[in-house]
Structure 1
Amino acid sequence: MSETNHKTVFVLDHTQYFGISSENLIDLDFVKSKVSAGASLPPISKSLWTSSVEAAVEYCRIVWDLFPTGKLIRFIVSDTAAHIVNTWGQGTQNITHVLNAMSMVGIPPRTAPMTHDCSVIHGLRAAIEALAEPTDAQKDVIKRAKEDEKALNKGRVICITSARDNASMSSLEDIYQTVLVQQNTVAATHKDLLNIDHCHLVIINLVPVNLESLVTNRGVKEVSPILTSEIHSISAADISNKLTHLILSHYELASTTVTGIPMKEEQNASSSANYDVEIFHAKYAHTVIFGSELILPTSIKEGAEYETVTLKWCTPRGIGASDLQPCLAQHRITSVDVTSRPSNCLINFLLNGRSVLLEMPRKTGGKLTSHLLSAHGGEIFIHTLRITRSCLEDLPSISEGGGGRVTNYRIPDFGKFMQAHKLVPLKAIADRKPDENLQKMRAKLRRHSRYWPLTSGTTLVYNMRQYIDPLLNLVSKDDLTDNDVLQCRQAIFSLVSLSTRNEQLSLPILGNRIKAHKKEELYKVIWTELEAIVQSSGSSNGHKLVLNCLCDCRARGSETAEKAELDQAIREIDGESSSHRASVIRATTDSPMSPPHVLEPAFIKKMKSTSNQNTRSLLDIMNITERNQTQKRLDFAGRLCTPSGQVAKLYPNLGSKEVNARETEAK
């Protein structure tokens, strides 16, 4: 019973100002009545008092739906005096009693004259006195408590009022702090009253829609060790959303929106559409499954200030033993908008004995059911299902990461790390402090684990010990001797020589996540990691000498690389200038009969043409060979017998034999 939300007091301002209109217009229309076409009713608006009462009652409905016992709320109306609406007794902790009392109080009269006695301070004073009264649960705790034990008494006061500016709000907080201290002084002398150990004051400044408030919002502020306060300035149209947002943090609740609920249309029963229903429940129903590193999908509803988890409706079915076995937790739920038709249909559907599985929307893979909605004994609960390994399965290996991914943890190195930091029990000695060695080991462990990559894929230095040892083993000491510093310097110089010669380092294939594709980038990553290791290993003089040597060699290596690039550029420039100078000297000293120089353009062009002439293709070679063979053969006999200038006739005697045969037959 030491929680702040065990006792909550609503203080409602009932002064004349709350009798004015909120200017939040509501349109009305005729339903199923014989009215001429085009007729309409003028819009109406609620008063500030009605808006504040409705929002406060809705706050109570959500709390009492989710927590039938243990969470108590009282109402106090303040005008010229404080009017108590209900008590801490369980018989008055219901909406019916509160609404009946509010109907008797009525709307503040607008015509009544404004007096100084009409103030919200009377209600705040009565709220502090109400927090000092013990509840039935607190009385039981006090009876069972021992003499030296003390029952903590905490509470929250939500005041809905209207102030002129920030100075008025500050004055209201000061008055509340003064009255709170006075009440604790009075409670110290009365056995029937409890001392208020802590109070959370929430002030809501309410103004009409068409007015701009001069009071600025302010988050939670610690006014004193026993008082924290916060201020919210809102219009009358947003007070319901503001209290709905505050209730999530006041009672550690979470929001879930069930999407894709198939429902028949009210006007057309033959067609159906998908609807969304938002529900509230304990926050633990979501956080209990975060150990598997799965993040539930969230979104922000239009007009709301908080996030809601979006879960998809699955095919409903009856409750089975297989569905309840992997259940991790169950909590009551309540609908955010109880007057909407989708909410009523969902509640009636669940109360009829059906259950609904809720799945997490996923882009890839099969569906993953994470929650179950079901009714037990006339109350609806949300069940959180196990979606990770079961406790009945074998324990996972250390090499298995989240989701079954095999990761390259440095398991052998971690074993050596544990062996190097093993603790041995010692006998108690009077001269030695009890925790002296323990503090030394903690400091050593903190120093050595300051930079210690968990996987082999996130480090290069620990994968190439053959090039760096014994530097890694020596820098882990608390203090370095001169010999240790000398060995570390030798290891650094050896790495510098490898970097100067630009030699390729042999590294194991471990799926490194370090992006170093070139040799220069690889050496740069190695120097950076070495510097981080030496810096985190210790702060002795030896460590400083090794670090200075490392930094000097790294800077000298970068200067050497830049100098090598500069020398190469100078050599190229010198080569071009020397060739040009040689051609000038030869042009001035050679005689006209001297052979052409190899660098002269005419000679180069001639050599290219000669080389092009001597170059023959395969087709040229075949044509030349065929031409030579043709010259060796005898020419055609008809061409030889035909005089020059005439065309030789091919087959001249063709057909002469047939003519001779016909002539012979004729004779």
Structure 2
Amino acid sequence: MTSFPVSHKTIFVLDHSSYFAQSCKQPIEYDVLRSKGSGVIPAAPIEKSLWTCNVEGLQEYLRVVFDIYPVDKQVRVISGSNVMNGWNDSDCVSAVLMKLALLGPPKAKEDPDYSLLHGLSCAIETLREPTLQQQAAIDQGESVKNRGRIVCLTALKNENHVQTIQEYVLETIQQYSKMSVSAELLPIDCCELVIVHSVPVDVELTLLNRAQVELNSVLSSEVVVTLSGRHLYNTLVALCCRHFDLTSTTVTGIPMKEEQNASSSANYDVELLHPAAAHDEIFKTEHAEGLVIQSKEGLPIETAPLKWCTPKSSVVELHNCSAAYRICPVDVNSRPSSCLTNFLLSGRAVMLEQPRKSGAKVISHMLAAHGGEIFIHSIPTSRSILEDPPSISEGCGGRVTDYRITAFGELMKENRLAPTSPALQERYGQVKGYTKALSQLERSSRFWPVVISDTILFNIVDEGISPLPTLIQQTTLSDQDVTECKKVILRVTAMESKNEPLPMPASGARGKGPKREEQYRQLWAEVESLVRAFADTSEQHAKVLDCVLDCKKPGDETVGSTRKSSGVKRDEVKAGALSEVEQTWQDLDRFQQMTEREKQEVLQGEKTFDPTPPKKLKSEDLLMRSGGQTLLSMWNNRLKTIQGKRTRDLDGRLDSDGRDGHKARLYIQLEENAGAGEEQTTGGTNQTAGTNSPRK
């Protein structure tokens, strides 16, 4: 299905009632008679009618659209039952103005036969007519999604009037949708109704703007309230920018000679409108803050000021550009806009730079003419997309030059997506096929080294190792596949026993590299990681893992958990060990949450608890499972072991079992003298009591 955007078809409905015959109450400024002197009587002020303001605002809307989108966007104008132009007219603006001139201004006296609803009905019928682009798609056998927008310039009476217009448009679209679809008329799939309410300048606005609201799945409505005159002009230009995704750029600092004094010059600014995509590049940079200002022409939009640079005379000197978009001056009749347009149409090009407070200047855009039309060109401020692509060695990981580029290309080919036939899509379903594709990509990349220097296994695929990485990724393995995988593992064992050299890529460092034993240790670690990544697929995959673990040397490190004969047993052991560890931590957490009194009771062995914890934990419900030891004894033993490794404990402290430890001896000389006296007395020597006896 070919889906055209809403902006592809726009229809204006002009209210031609007597209300718009009155003045807009905004006088026109002119200075034709000022140079004649002060004696001339000034002329009476001139004021435009509301109808004239609507026509001029419509003309500006059409000029902007067809200057920037001369082919892709189509606009038609309707007043009452009169259709001013058709789709894809060669000169739409001139044709519309000619028809409006023949229609004439509204009459001051109310016409009883006129109704705005007639114009809305005609607009809905016109929206069903296909444009040339839609007709071309229909001729090619494609179904077209018809979308469009209706802009109604009118004067609303009250809120009920808004509701009346919306209900009428909704009912008319529903009636047309019930009619049979023909080759000449298309059904309306989406329609946006924009009601623009304008009043004279001296009249107070009683209605408020209404944001776009969906009335049903086909119709959405919006109300824009504004004053007439210059305000209506600015509002319609802002609507045009919003409807067609346009933005503004103001070229500042244009040197221009004065009109009255050719010897002097001054700097002027010119505001241009163009597609918003021209500013995508500059708003991605970190210097984009504060780049936009309010429009200098009074439009209710923001503009990006870009500074005028010295024009280039040769096209060869121009920068490479990433995109080009048509432009349209906001004030096309002003002298600065006219001079800039003529300057560019003469074959010159102007460079535009971003305003920056510091640093080197950054040229982000260029103005140049091609084939009589002026374009704004986007110049990349960083790396140009027209240059050679960056080297893969300039990635985030540094200057790595040994990526497995060839293997990555093969991985992309094996996992490429292709359009499926309706039979397969009906058989597997869209969701199931999408899930299967993701599963295939996940299995292919589950173990896939990125850098050549990080792997040995994938560097020796030519040595007869290639069947293992290919077979182990399959979802099912036959007995023959398991035998082939075991042959590969035994071949690695034979290579290790013969001490055959392994291809080691140059890592850039000087030296002989790792020893032969380290190389085989790395190879076995890769083989185990590869097989273990797919070991839980089936029992056949688990058998390959058992073969790897049997052939490894006992001293090599084992990746992952302890090996068991089957995947079920491995899960049971792993779950049992995990539950015991979790239970120990839960006991410790419960002990930490107890009060000091409860901790003392538990540590003294007075309180215990059932191994199955109750719903509400109590102080007497704590029991440690490590050989009947309490937390205090386990903690003291740990501290004693750590302290014993650091320094020798002081004598005189009690042992942990409560017995007396080593005591320090005091007054050693007195003890020795007392011992000597006792020996002399025992030997039978008669001495007097006061001779050679120690004092007491």
TM-score range, shorter chain: 0.5 to 0.7
Offset of 1:381 from its aligned partner? 0.8
Deviations 1:318-347 (A, max 9, x none): 2423424x2100111111110111100100
1:220 aligns with 2:212: yes
Question: Within 2, Cα distance between the matches of 1:46 and 1:56?
Answer: 15
Do the aligned residues in 2 keep the contact of 1:30 with 1:40 (CA within 8 Å)? no
TM-score between both structures, scaled by the size of structure 1: 0.59
The residue aligned with 1:88 is 87
Determine helix, strand or coil for the equivalent of 1:270: coil
For residues 587 and 33 of structure 2, what CA distance do their matches in structure 1 show?
Answer: 93
CA distance in 1, matches of 2:16, 2:88: 24
> Matched residue of 1:327: which SS?
coil
For 2:31, the equivalent position in structure 1 comes to 29
Does 1:201 pair with 2:193?
yes
- For 1:289 and 1:16, locate their aligned partners in 2 and report how far apart those are by CA, in whole Å: 49
Deviation string 1:561-604 (CA, Å, 9 cap, x unpaired) is: xxxxxxxxxxxxxxxxxxxxxxxxxxxxxxxxxxxxxxxxxxxx
Which structure 2 residues correspond to residues 25-104 of structure 1 after superposition, within 5 A? 25-31=27-33, 34=36, 36-37=38-39, 39-78=41-80, 82-91=81-90, 93-104=91-102
- Measured after TM superposition, the shift of residue 32 of structure 1 is 7.2
Select the residue among 311, 331, 354 that pairs with 2:348.
354
Contact 1:369 1:385 in 2 (8 A): yes
Offset, 1:258: 0.5
Conservation of the 8 A alpha-carbon contact between 2:250 and 2:305: yes
In the alignment, structure 1 residue 7 sits paired with structure 2 residue 9? yes
What secondary structure is seen at the aligned counterpart in 2 of 1:23?
Answer: strand
Question: Counterpart of 1:519?
Answer: none
Give the direction of change, closer, same or farther, for the CA distance of 1:308–1:43 in structure 2 (3 Å limit).
same
For residue 485 of structure 1, report the CA deviation from its aligned partner: 7.7
Q: Structure 1 stretches of 5 or more lacking a match?
A: 402-406, 409-423, 444-472, 495-667
Q: How far apart, in 2, do the equivalents of 1:264 and 1:392 lie?
A: 40
In structure 2, do the counterparts of structure 1 residues 28 and 439 end up closer, same or farther at CA, with 3 Å as the change threshold? same
Is the Cα contact below 8 Å between 1:199 and 1:228 reproduced in 2? yes
**2:170 maps to which residue?**
177
1:113 corresponds to which letter in structure 2? E
**What amino acid maps onto 1:43 in structure 2?**
P
Conservation of the 8 A alpha-carbon contact between 1:28 and 1:40: no
CA shift, 1:366, in A, is 0.7
Counterpart amino acid of residue 147 in structure 2: K
Q: Residue 442 of structure 1: CA displacement?
A: 13
1:343 to 310, 333, 337: 337
Preserved contact between residue 18 and residue 108 of structure 1 (Cα < 8 Å): yes
Change beyond 3 A, Cα 1:433–1:30: closer
Q: Does 1:120 align with 2:122?
A: no
Shift of 1:270: 2.2
Which sections of structure 2, spanning at least 5 residues, go unmatched? Answer: 399-413, 416-423, 443-559, 562-570, 589-696
Choose which of 313, 319, 323 in structure 1 pairs with 2:318.
323
Matched, 1:261 2:243: no
Q: Alpha carbons of 1:248 and 1:486: their partners in 2 closer, same or farther (altered >3 Å)?
A: farther
> Against the structure 1 CA distance between its residues 435 and 49, is the aligned structure 2 distance closer, same or farther, given a 3 Å change threshold?
closer
Question: In the aligned structure 2, how far is the partner of 1:348 from the partner of 1:21?
Answer: 36
Matched residue, 2:225: 233
How does the TM-score come out when normalised to structure 2? 0.56
Q: What is the SS of the residue equivalent to 2:307?
A: strand
Q: Does the aligned pair in 2 maintain the 1:256–1:278 contact within 8 Å?
A: yes
Aligned to 1:631: none
CA distance in 2, matches of 1:292, 1:367: 14
Cα distance, 1:438 vs structure 2:
8.4
- In 1, Cα distance between equivalents of 2:432 and 2:178: 44
Cα offset, 1:89, TM superposition: 4.2
1:197–1:436 Cα change, 3 Å: closer
Matched with 1:280 is: 273
The 3 A distance-change label for structure 1 pair 295 and 396 is: farther
Alignment of 1:458-607 (within 5 A): 484=578
Letter in 2 for 1:46: K
The AA in structure 1 aligned to 2:29 is D
Q: Which residue of 2 aligns with 1:108?
A: 106
The answer to whether the 8 Å contact 1:29/1:40 transfers is: no
Identical counterparts, % of pairs? 39
* Alignment map for 1:308-457 (pairs within 5 Å): 308-324=303-319, 326-390=320-384, 392=387, 395=390
Q: What's the CA shift for 1:213?
A: 2.6
Contact 2:137 2:143 (8 Å CA) reproduced: no
Are 1:211 and 2:203 counterparts? Answer: yes
- How far the C-alpha of 1:55 sits from its partner, in A, is 0.3
How many aligned positions are there? 432
Per-residue CA distance 1:160-195 (angstroms, 9 max, x = gap): 000111121011101111011112223x24332111
Alpha-carbon RMSD across the aligned residues, in angstroms, is 3.7
8 Å contact kept, 1:292–1:388:
no
CA contact (8 A) 2:17 2:110 kept: no
The separation in 2 between residues aligned to 1:166 and 1:381, in whole angstroms, is 44
Select between 279-288 and 345-354 the one with higher mean Cα deviation: 279-288
Hey, what's the Cα distance between the residues in 1 that align with 2:388 and 2:132? 46
In 1: Cα distance, 2:99 partner to 2:583 partner: 86
The alignment status of 1:295 with 2:288, answered yes or no, reads: yes
Q: Is the 8 A contact 2:33 2:42 kept in 1?
A: no
Deviation at 1:197, TM superposition (A): 1.0
| 1:635 aligned residue | none
1: CA distance between counterparts of 2:144 and 2:65? 24
